[in-house]
């Protein structure tokens, strides 16, 4: 469903009543400036042995009573429709009449689970992992915006080899240090090196895993404590970015409450054995569920987790790094083909972020943490805002810098198509002009400023839309379609790119089209345009993690 009245659909239906063979794709928004919507009449022309003029005149006749159409012309095999900005403006405005806020769309929403982040609690969150959180949180916001009941989920991997290795490392090399994420990270990295020299350490890790699954108190307390410390600092980072996790599910809980065993029981007929280790197979691929000592593997725990999610949600979305693609395929196979769970399950993958100096690895120590990025972004923003707004108090400067920095960081990451690799560059991440969040925020602040000065009166969309106004109205009207595409395709970058286009269009209007100093009816109409712009930016910006400010 669309946020605004769907004129494109209306047009398609009218044309179909004359030419039933016209497909949805034959009518599309035009990007070349010839029209607002274009009908590609190539197949009609070939099949029907008719002239384009005939088609145009039939369509024109059928649409003669429709005031949302401003003109119909043809060129080559295209039939070009321009839309009446007055009607588009009405469609936008009617949705926010009285509230200044666009409503949610669904009445009876599905329950949706969005799992994101879920990074191993073995160190601080770095800029590669934060891509997961940023994409996931935007998907959460977009689906919530649409009216779904969305819960965000974090799967805490406290039962794997990595955490057990951290635990052993901390006991051996870090116990005299205070229990902080930094010291734990040091111990983890040291452990990673020591294991190469002393393979006996691996055996201790194995033993730790066994003891943890068996519920040995000392190990349980130790691992839980360590994970909680690191999770706390990961959470702190997420909070700085305005990202909230609703539910944490600990892998070890699924082992101890029997869910993992239930998975093994359900799969009993499919299980195969290799030296005591259990696996299922498909197409010659073995997917191991347990080790030969009976301890569980990530795969079986993740199946148990998906069972839990299927029980509680109508739509499951997992945001995963591209290295999980095969794993995700296996999960889908087991859930659907072996366990016959047909719930809606979608994966959103993202490619990795690397540094100019190469790949990031937590164990190897070559990382830029998300906190480091945020700190530098805040510093940068503070310098700029202090320079531009020297009259403001320090607390106000800091508030603005925070908003600018977190918005800029999130936007920088979310605007890129998630399956493109990203090479992190400080100069790009800290850029506050061009295709950036502050560019959007600044235009918003200008719109806010105009409306403040105008007061509440005289906002009336009357008179004719000029050639700087109509393009902005049409761009605003597009929001309904962009939001729809972003939600159905789980593509937050579509909103990000739309916001940039919308803002550019507004800036063009702003520089060339006086609002406050113009006469009635232009003034009232332009104020209405500015107000709609401001409302749409506010609505869309939130979805991609931009905190707009009334003043900056």
Partner RNA sequence: GGGCCCGUAGUGUAAAGGAUAUCACCUAGGCCUCCGGAGCCUAUGAUCCGGGUUCGAAUCCCGGCGGGCCCGCCA
Binding to RNA (CB under 7 A): which residues in 13-32? 24-25, 27-32
Candidate residues 21, 221, 337, 428; the one interacting with RNA per rule CB under 7 A: 428
195 binds RNA (CB under 7 A): no
Candidate residues 14, 82, 312, 449; the one interacting with RNA per rule CB under 7 A: 449
User: Interface residues for RNA in 150-179 (CB under 7 A)?
Assistant: 157, 159-162
Which is closer to RNA, CB of 140 or CB of 155?
155
Q: What are phi and psi of 434, to 5 degrees?
A: 70, -130
Q: 73 forms bridges with which residues in the sheet?
A: 80
519 binds RNA (CB under 7 A): no
Checking DSSP bridges between strand 272-274 and strand 78-83, what pairing results, if any? unpaired
Which is closer to RNA, CB of 64 or CB of 75?
75
> Are 378 and 348 within 8 A, CB to CB?
no
Candidate residues 210, 240, 399, 446; the one interacting with RNA per rule CB under 7 A: 446
Cα 348 to its chain centre, rounded Å, is 10
Give the residue among 347, 239, 255 at the shortest CA–CA distance from 296. 255
459 binds RNA (CB under 7 A): no
Distance CA 425, CA 403 (A): 21
Candidate residues 450, 470, 476, 536; the one interacting with RNA per rule CB under 7 A: 450
Distance CA 429, CA 414 (A): 12
Candidate residues 65, 200, 434, 455; the one interacting with RNA per rule CB under 7 A: 434
User: Interface residues for RNA in 221-280 (CB under 7 A)?
Assistant: 274-277
Candidate residues 500, 521, 538, 547; the one interacting with RNA per rule CB under 7 A: 500
Which is closer to RNA, CB of 220 or CB of 314?
220
CB of 490 to RNA, least distance (A): 13
Q: Which residue has the tokens 């666009």?
A: 102
The region of 76-84, 131-139, 191-199, 227-235 touching RNA under the rule CB under 7 A is 76-84
Candidate residues 433, 455, 467, 519; the one interacting with RNA per rule CB under 7 A: 433
CB of 439 to RNA, least distance (A): 4
Distance CA 69, CA 83 (A): 5
Q: What are phi and psi of 111, to 5 degrees?
A: -90, 130
Candidate residues 213, 469, 493, 522; the one interacting with RNA per rule CB under 7 A: 493
Candidate residues 48, 257, 514, 520; the one interacting with RNA per rule CB under 7 A: 514
The region of 129-137, 211-219, 225-233, 501-509 touching RNA under the rule CB under 7 A is 501-509
User: Interface residues for RNA in 284-343 (CB under 7 A)?
Assistant: 286, 288, 291-293, 297-299, 322-327
User: Interface residues for RNA in 81-140 (CB under 7 A)?
Assistant: 120
393 binds RNA (CB under 7 A): no
CB of 191 to RNA, least distance (A): 13
Long-range contacts of 240-243 (CB under 8 A, 24+ apart): 240/371, 240/374, 240/406, 241/130, 241/133, 241/134, 241/137, 241/370, 241/374, 241/406, 241/409, 241/410, 241/545, 242/137, 242/406, 242/410, 242/545, 242/547, 243/117, 243/133, 243/134, 243/137
Using CA of residue 89, residue 95, residue 100, residue 105, what is the dihedral sign?
negative
Give the residue among 549, 545, 548, 547 at the shortest CA–CA distance from 142. 545
351 binds RNA (CB under 7 A): yes
**N- to C-terminal Cα distance for the chain?**
35
Which is closer to RNA, CB of 167 or CB of 299?
299
CB of 172 to RNA, least distance (A): 19
């Amino acid at each position: 469903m669309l946020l605004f009245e769907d004129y494109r659909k209306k047009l398609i239906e009218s044309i179909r009543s004359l030419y039933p063979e016209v497909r949805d794709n034959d009518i599309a928004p035009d990007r070349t400036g010839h029209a607002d919507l274009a009908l590609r009449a190539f197949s009609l022309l070939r099949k029907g042995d008719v002239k384009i003029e005939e088609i145009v005149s039939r369509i024109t006749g059928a649409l003669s009573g429709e005031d949302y159409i401003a003109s119909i012309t043809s060129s080559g095999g295209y039939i070009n429709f321009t839309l009446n900005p007055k009607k588009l403006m009405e469609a936008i405005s009617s949705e926010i009449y009285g509230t200044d806020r666009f409503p949610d769309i669904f009445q009876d929403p599905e329950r949706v689970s969005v799992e994101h982040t879920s990074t191993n609690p073995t160190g601080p969150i770095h800029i590669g992992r934060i891509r997961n959180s940023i994409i996931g949180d935007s998907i959460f916001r977009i689906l919530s915006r649409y009216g779904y009941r969305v819960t965000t989920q974090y799967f805490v991997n406290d039962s794997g080899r990595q955490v057990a290795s951290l635990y052993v490392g901390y006991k051996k090399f870090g116990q005299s240090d205070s229990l902080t994420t930094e010291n734990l990270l040091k111990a983890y990295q040291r452990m990673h090196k020591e294991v190469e020299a002393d393979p006996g350490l691996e055996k201790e890790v194995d033993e730790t895993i066994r003891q943890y699954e068996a519920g040995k108190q000392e190990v349980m307390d130790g691992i839980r404590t360590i994970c909680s410390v690191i999770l706390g600092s990961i959470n702190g980072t997420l909070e700085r970015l305005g990202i909230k996790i609703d539910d944490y599910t600990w892998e070890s809980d699924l082992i101890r409450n029997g869910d993992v065993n239930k998975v093994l029981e359900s799969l009993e007929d499919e299980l195969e054995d290799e030296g005591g280790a259990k696996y299922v197979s498909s197409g010659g691929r073995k997917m191991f569920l347990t080790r030969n000592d009976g301890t569980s593997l990530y795969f079986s725990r993740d199946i148990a987790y998906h069972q839990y999610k299927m029980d509680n949600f109508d739509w499951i979305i997992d945001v995963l790094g591209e290295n999980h693609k095969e794993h995700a395929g296996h999960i889908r196979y087991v859930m659907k083909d072996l366990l016959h769970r047909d719930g809606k399950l979608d994966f959103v993958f993202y490619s990795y972020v690397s540094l100019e100096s190469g790949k990031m690895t937590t164990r190897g120590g070559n990382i830029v943490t998300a906190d480091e990025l945020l700190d530098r972004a805040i510093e940068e923003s503070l310098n700029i805002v202090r320079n531009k707004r020297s009259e403001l108090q320090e607390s106000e400067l800091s508030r603005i810098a925070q908003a600018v920095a977190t918005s800029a960081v999130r936007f920088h990451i979310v605007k890129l198509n998630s399956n493109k690799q990203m090479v992190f560059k400080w100069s790009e991440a800290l850029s506050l002009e061009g295709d950036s969040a502050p560019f959007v925020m600044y235009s918003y602040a200008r719109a806010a400023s105009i409306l403040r000065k105008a007061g509440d009166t005289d906002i009336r969309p009357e008179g004719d839309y000029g050639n700087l106004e109509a393009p902005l109205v049409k761009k605003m009207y597009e929001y309904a379609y962009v939001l729809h595409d972003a939600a159905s395709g789980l593509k937050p970058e579509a909103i990000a790119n739309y916001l940039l286009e919308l803002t550019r269009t507004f800036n063009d209007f702003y520089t060339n089209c006086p609002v406050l100093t113009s006469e009635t009816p232009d003034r009232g109409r332009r104020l209405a345009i500015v107000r709609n712009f401001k409302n749409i930016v506010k609505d869309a910006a939130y979805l991609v993690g931009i905190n707009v400010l009334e003043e900056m």
